[in-house]
Amino acid sequence: MSGKVWFITGASRGFGRLWAEAALGRGDRVAATARVLADVADLSETYGDAVLPIALDVTNARGVQSAVSWTYTHFGRLDIVLNNAGYMLVGAVEEAHEADLRAELDTNFLGTFRVIQAALPLLRRQRSGHIIGVSSVGGIVASPLTGLYNASKFAVEALHESLAQEVMGFGIKVTLLEPGVYATGFASMTSLRISSRIDAYDAIRDKVFAAGSDLAFGDPQATADAILAIVDAETPPLRLFVGSEGLRRVRAVYADRLATWEAWDAVSCAAQGEVHPHDIPS
């Protein structure tokens, strides 16, 4: 079989499941991972040997290493590493416990990091491969009550931006997917974690939840062609907004950031101080 070989985390539902099925449906092979094996094992009934279901908790470093190695051994190569596993912690910064933040980062950021580190030696040996991280519009713009989730995705963004520059010479491509809001169940109580509550934040909570009820959720099925186009591109972008929300939202945010930096530029430059020639390395 000549199709691409994928390794996908969080393939039990939502985007991970949908993209796994899109890849399998066109003849690619997929290692579909989920914390509970039964949640991905049923894919074998439809796709047979083209799918390798694997039980994987991305917070388990040894398990990640084993799953990636097993995929490579089983299929004989590894073309696309798609880090999709993650969840959202909802709560104001003051409301969250440190343990909540550690757990969020352990899955969303460190889980991604572990998979990338396990895959890189294999991809370097091949001199090919495509590492894809699922970030979010929330990886660029933070919102009230999701600051801890935003922090995890900001970290994912920085990790991939640096990685892309490091591995370019090995023939390895890197892409960040930045979805807006979709009807994937990601915002359901099975995917969300809610921090403890402080009454002082009830007003902002009510405002945020009221605004959320007016959001236009995208159709997850419509994303499959975009993802396949990215993995087939000779020169894929480092970043891709998935859906129509991202660019429109970010235009306004970045315009405001640039205006603020410009307005305070004199103060910034004064903070540089006077540079003396002997301070400059030769």
**Nearest by Cα to 23 from 3, 42, 9:** 3
In the set 47, 149, 152, 173, the catalytic residue is 149
Q: Give φ, ψ of 191 to 5 degrees.
A: -110, -25
Helices (DSSP H) in the chain: which residue ranges? 14-25, 38-41, 43-47, 61-75, 98-108, 110-126, 147-167, 202-212, 224-232, 245-263, 265-270
In the set 72, 136, 153, 173, the catalytic residue is 153
Angle at CA of residue 63, ends 57 and 65, nearest 5°: 125
Is residue 173 part of the annotated active site? The answer reads: no
The DSSP element (H or E) to which 134 belongs, if any, is: strand 129-134
Is residue 207 part of the annotated active site? The answer reads: no
In the set 12, 47, 72, 135, the catalytic residue is 135
Q: What is the DSSP letter of 48?
A: G
Is residue 195 part of the annotated active site? The answer reads: no
Residues in the chain: 282
Let me know if 199 is exposed, middle or buried by CB neighbors in 10 A (0-12, 13-18, 19+).
exposed
Residues annotated as catalytic (active site), given as ranges: 135, 149, 153
